[in-house]
Every structure is written in C-alpha cells, then in structure tokens.
C-alpha cells in the first residue's frame, strides 16, 4: 500500500499526495489531491498520511454514490471546512473555504461539528504524555560524551556545537528545533562573511550531524537536512590551495638540506611529506617500531593506521577510513637515509619520528588517565607552525615565488601533479595519498591499499633527481 508521501519543493516538510481516480477527475475537478502534513518527521508523516488515505477513500466512495443518479453531471461543492486537532484532541486550527453568502450555513455547521466532538481523553497515555523537553545544553553534553567520536573529531566539533547552542540558548528544547529553525541558524552562519565559505559549510554540516544523531535516537527530534542550506562556493575546489612549483620545491629542499645534520627532524619531515604524499599528521604519528616495514620483495613501506599503541592507548587518528593504507618509500628516500632515521627513532620513549624536535600538542597520558582508550594528541601541531614560518621566510627572501600555498599540504598537490604527468593512474594516486576511489570494488576487493609492491611497480615518477629538485638534497 502506498503511503502517499512526498517531500516539499524546498525539502522542508512532508506532503500528502494522492491521484484522483480517472472516473472522478471530472466530478472533483482535480487530477491529484495535496495537503501539507506540517511535519519533518517521516514517522509522524506516515501516521498522518494513513489517516488522510482513509478520508480520501471515503471521499471517493461518497462522490461515486452522489453521482450514480446523474452520472453525466459533475459534483458541486458549495464550501469546505477542515479542523486540525492537537495531540489532546483539542481543535488547533480551523480552515473554511466559502463564499460570503454562505456564511450563515458555515457558522451553523461549525457549531454542530464542535458540539459533537468527544471530550478529550486526557487520561490516555498516548494523549496525556507531553513530548519530552531536553535542554539543548544537556543534549550537547550528551553528544560530547558519546564513544563514537574520535578525539580529534570531538575537538573540531565542540566549538561549532557550542555556537549552535548559543544561537538558540542553553534552555531551548532540543525537540522544538524544526527544519525552519535550523534553516534560520544556517542563514546566520552563511551571513558571517568574516569566515571562509568552506568553514561555514562545515559548521552547518556539523550542526546537522549533531541534530540527526539525536533524531536517530529519539522519535521526538526532527530529522533535518543541511545539504541545501550551505553557502555556495564562489570558486572551484581546485583553487583552494595551489601546488608548489618544481623550482619552489627545489628551494624548499635546499633550505632544509643546509641544516640537515643540525636539525634532522626539519629535514626529514619536509622530504618525507614531499616524497610519500602523506598528510603531515599521518607521518608525524607513525610508530617507528611497528609501522616501518619491509616487503618480501625488499620494498620498504609505511603502514599508516589508527591502531592503539602497545599499551592499549590510541594516540593517533586517521582523517577517514580510506586513509588507512601502506605507502611505499621511494628509492630516493631510502638512498638518502630515511629508513635509518626512522629505525633510530624506534628506540625513543614515544617511538614517534619528530617529537625530539617538535613537542606534541597534548600530554602523553598513561593508560589509567586515558579516556575511553584514546588520548587527544596532535603530533603535527608545532610542525605545521614551523612550516608556516619557514614558508614565510622563503617567500620574503625571494627563494619561492608562489604566495597562495601552504608549506606541507601543497606538497601533496605537487606530488599528485607529478604522478599524473608521469602517467600514473588516478587509482594509484588516490591510494598513495589516502583518498577514496573505486567504490566497494576498489575499497574492499582489490586490496591495493595494502600491497606496497603493486604500488611501487606503478610509481615511476621522479626517477631523475633533477626533475623535482632532488639534486638539492
């Protein structure tokens, strides 16, 4: 049986829609019947739609009976009246469509209809119990304590959700935030032009995720949509960040090579990110004792993952599940001594590659102090800051020419461009850099992300050092 449900044009509420039988179109003067159900909850809309389905069945049967005597004549409707009731069976809204000269008949009908209503059955549990009212501040606190959020994700979400709570107020009932109210919040976020469009888009998405997390756990919270409420991009995503030119990469390599022996961490984090395609946090958080591996074919590679340390505490976080992968170490990196550097760091207390120079942005807690088996640590926090300063210095000295780049992340763009120009397929490029590709077949069945030999066989870019500035190393 059809439920006759349809989303409104703006995707903000549900409508009841039913086709009029062919033999009654001339009689009723319509091909379809519409009515707004006034709710964004599909569960509630289905209940209301079933009631309207019964009413329209009765309407169709009545129309057929009234036209049997004079089948060639249409049905004339002088006026209509509808009464909307709340959950306690009290009249909430009255809608009348009538001509002025029919007012007396309408008034009489209204009095008759209201007088024949049964007394509200307030003793019935389904009608007497009001909807729960959860303080928005309490709902946020509940969301923050859930076990599903990674520590780094929680850190990103907290300020956004707190601004969401501030917009409505701590005491505002969670259950009273409708699609319309959420759209008003999204409009306020969009209007804040002091923040980047991408940031505003993300904030609206996070607020929607917060609301829908509660909606999936309570029938009293409306399921909301944020997709059509986010501000539109003014430029394509490809212009968010530029890549480093090969001349700029040569200058960057030359700068870190000059202090390679004095500050080896600065050298290796720069060259490592440039020649692996890793995000700086991915490289900075590896456990050098367990994540540096050698394939049977002799290829050295990194096993990038979000697994706990040997003491059971998770001190690393991958951006997404697609980021779990192996990354083969280019022969240039091995020749330069990257493997020896990582093996030397395996004996340090934390076994991380760069924390001797760059302190992690958090305390490395013990198992007893860790919450839910996780420790919020940003291994690359001070590395990124150093990279920003180094890029500014190179820019001011005239060593590099581009200004709309970031020190580390633009290296990923440069590597992608080099790989593409060398004919490396998108599948290999996406796998090396930890991006989704290929749907279920590519992600689950091909196992490309866990095969360093196949990745290295197809990774044929930059064999000549001078092509990407490697001669400066």
Q: For every residue of the chain, which 3-state class applies, written as one string? A: CCCCEEECCCCCCEEEEEECCHHHHHHHCCCEEEEECCCCCHHHHHHHHHHHHHHHHHHHHHHHHHHHCCCCCCCCCCCEEEEEECCCCCEEEEEEECCHHHHHHHHHHHHHHHHCCCCCCCCCHHHHCCCCCCEHHHHHHHHHCCCCCCHHHHHHHHHHHHHHHHHHCCCCEHHHCCHHHHHHHHHHHHCCCCCCHHHHHHHHHHHHHHHHHHHCCCCCCCCCCCCCCCCCCCCCHHHCCCCCCHHHHHHHHHHHHCCCCCCHHHHHHHHHHHHHCCCHHHHHCCCCCCCEEECCCCCEEEEECCCCCCCCCECCCCCCHHHCEEEECCHHHHHHCHHHHHHHHCCCCCCCCCCCCCCCCCCCCCCCCCECCECCCCCCHHHHHHHHHHHHHHHHHCCCCCCCCCCCHHHHHHHHHHHHHCCCCHHHHHHHHCCCCCHHHHHHHCCHHHCHHHHHHHCCCCCCHHHHCHHHC
Residue 329: count of CB within 10 angstroms of its CB: 22
Q: What is the pLDDT of residue 125?
A: 45
416 — pLDDT class (breaks 50, 70, 90) = confident
Q: Please list, in sequence order, all residues whose beta carbon lies within 8 angstroms of the beta carbon of residue 15, skipping any fewer than 6 positions away.
A: 5, 6, 7, 8, 34, 35, 36, 37
Q: How far apart are CA 200 and CA 189, in angstroms?
A: 6
Q: What is the pLDDT of residue 465?
A: 40
When mean pLDDT is compared over 262-266, 314-318, 423-427, the highest value belongs to 262-266
460 — pLDDT class (breaks 50, 70, 90) = very low
For the chain, give the mean pLDDT: 80
Mean of pLDDT values over 10-16: 77
238 — pLDDT class (breaks 50, 70, 90) = low
Q: How far apart are CA 306 and CA 316, in angstroms?
A: 6
Q: What is the pLDDT of residue 139?
A: 94
When mean pLDDT is compared over 258-272, 306-320, 416-430, the highest value belongs to 258-272
Q: How far apart are CA 268 and CA 261, in angstroms?
A: 11
Of the candidates 255, 192, 204, the residue with the CA atom closest to the CA atom of residue 230: 204
Tens digits of per-residue pLDDT, 436-450? 765 545 554 455 566
Q: What is the pLDDT of residue 45?
A: 82
pLDDT > 60? residue 217 = yes
The pTM assigned to this predicted structure is 0.60
154 — pLDDT class (breaks 50, 70, 90) = confident
**Bridge partner list, 34:** 17
Least confident of 19-23, 41-45, 369-373: 369-373
pLDDT > 50? residue 63 = yes
Q: What is the pLDDT of residue 303?
A: 94
43 — pLDDT class (breaks 50, 70, 90) = confident
When mean pLDDT is compared over 53-67, 90-104, 369-383, the highest value belongs to 53-67
CA R_g for the chain: 32
Tens digits of per-residue pLDDT, 118-152? 655 544 444 445 567 899 999 999 998 875 666 67
33 — pLDDT class (breaks 50, 70, 90) = confident
116 — pLDDT class (breaks 50, 70, 90) = low
Mean of pLDDT values over 275-294: 93
Q: Which long-range contacts (CB under 8 A, 24 or more apart) does 419-426 make?
A: 419/459, 419/461, 421/461, 422/460, 422/461, 422/462, 423/460, 424/458, 424/459, 424/460, 424/461, 425/458
Least confident of 51-60, 273-282, 455-464: 455-464
Least confident of 188-202, 284-298, 379-393: 188-202
Mean of pLDDT values over 259-273: 94
Q: What percent of the chain has pLDDT over 70?
A: 72
């Amino acid at each position: 049986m059809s439920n006759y449900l349809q989303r409104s044009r703006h995707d903000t509420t549900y409508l009841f829609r039913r086709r009029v039988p062919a033999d009654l179109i001339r009689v009723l003067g319509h091909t379809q019947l519409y009515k707004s159900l006034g709710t964004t909850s599909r569960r509630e809309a289905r209940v209301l739609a079933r009631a309207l389905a019964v009413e329209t069945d009765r309407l169709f049967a009545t129309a057929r009976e009234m036209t049997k005597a004079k089948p060639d004549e249409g049905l004339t409707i002088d006026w209509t009246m509808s009464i909307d009731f709340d959950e306690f069976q009290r009249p909430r809204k009255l809608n009348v469509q009538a001509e002025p000269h029919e007012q007396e008949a309408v008034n009489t009908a209204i009095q008759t209809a209201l007088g024949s209503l049964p007394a509200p059955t307030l003793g019935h549990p389904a009608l007497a119990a009001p909807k729960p009212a959860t303080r928005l501040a309490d709902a946020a606190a509940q969301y923050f304590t859930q076990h599903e959020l990674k520590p780094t994700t929680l850190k990103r979400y907290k300020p956004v959700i707190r601004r969401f709570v501030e917009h409505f107020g701590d005491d505002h009932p969670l259950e009273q935030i409708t699609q319309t109210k959420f759209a008003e919040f999204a409009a306020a976020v969009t209007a804040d032009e002091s923040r980047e469009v991408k940031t505003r888009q993300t904030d609206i998405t996070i607020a929607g995720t917060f609301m829908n997390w509660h909606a999936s756990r309570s029938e009293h919270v409306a399921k909301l949509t944020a997709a059509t409420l986010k501000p539109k991009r003014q430029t394509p995503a490809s212009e968010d960040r530029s890549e480093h030119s090969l001349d700029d990469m040569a200058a960057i390599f030359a700068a870190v090579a000059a202090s390679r022996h004095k500050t080896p961490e600065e050298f290796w984090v720069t060259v490592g990110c440039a020649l692996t395609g890793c995000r700086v946090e991915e490289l900075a958080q590896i456990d050098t004792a367990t994540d540096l591996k050698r394939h049977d074919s002799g290829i050295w590679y990194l096993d990038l993952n979000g697994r706990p340390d040997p003491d059971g505490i998770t001190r690393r976080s991958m951006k997404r599940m697609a980021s779990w992968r192996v990354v083969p170490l280019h022969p240039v990196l091995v020749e330069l001594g990257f493997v020896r550097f990582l093996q030397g760091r395996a004996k340090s207390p934390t076994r991380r590659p760069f924390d001797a120079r760059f302190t992690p942005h958090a305390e490395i807690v013990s198992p007893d102090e860790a919450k839910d088996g996780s420790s919020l640590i940003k291994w690359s926090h001070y590395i990124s800051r150093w990279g920003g300063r180094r890029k500014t210095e190179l820019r001011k000295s005239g060593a590099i020419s581009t200004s709309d780049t970031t020190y580390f992340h633009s290296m990923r763009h440069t590597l992608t461009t080099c790989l593409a120009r060398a004919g490396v397929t998108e599948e290999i490029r996406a796998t090396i850099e930890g991006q989704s590709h290929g749907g279920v077949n590519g992600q689950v069945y091909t196992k490309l992300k866990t095969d360093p030999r196949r990745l290295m066989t197809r990774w044929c870019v930059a064999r000549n050092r001078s092509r990407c500035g490697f001669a400066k190393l």
